[in-house]
Amino acid sequence: MGRDIPSTTYRKAQTQEELIERFARIMRQRYGATMYLFGSRSRGTARPVSDYDMIAVSEAFRRDKRTARATDRLFLWWEAGGWGEGIDLHCYTPEEFRQEIESGMGYLADAWERCELTEVKISDDLPDKRVVGRGLEKA
């Protein structure tokens, strides 16, 4: 956590899946974060100009105020190949993440209720993304 990321080729990602997985891998290396996708890209209703709505959950964020978490996000997004693509990244500690969902209010709770919160799986992990939300257990 907090260690330097080896430089990649900085080539633009060719697919949405490639970009999401690359960014998730970098966020895991840098912050130990578990990544989630929500919004139109998770629902499959994204337009070409839609941004990527993502959530990072990590113990590493505990040391910073919410507004000071992952301040290098754009650099890391570009390194993943996302230049020219918008990202809206929300960073939570595991407890904050749980509290937001359990509150039943806000965008995160709404995504959870609609089962539109997709945990991004890195190819080193299980082969598929997992959708988590009401009525579904996170394995």
Structural domain boundaries in the chain = 16-132
pLDDT of residue 54: 97
Strands (E), 18-122: 34-38, 52-57, 87-92, 117-119
pLDDT of residue 10: 67
- pTM, two decimals, is 0.80
CA 30 to chain centre: 13
pLDDT along the chain (139 residues), means of 10: 51 87 96 96 92 97 94 95 93 96 90 91 62 43
Q: Write the CATH number of the domain with boundaries 16-132.
A: 3.30.300.90
Question: Tokens 């230049």 map to which residue?
Answer: 83
pLDDT of residue 29: 96
Question: Are 110 and 100 spatial neighbours (Cβ–Cβ below 8 Å)?
Answer: no
pLDDT of residue 131: 46
Strands (E), the chain: 34-38, 52-57, 87-92, 117-119, 130-132
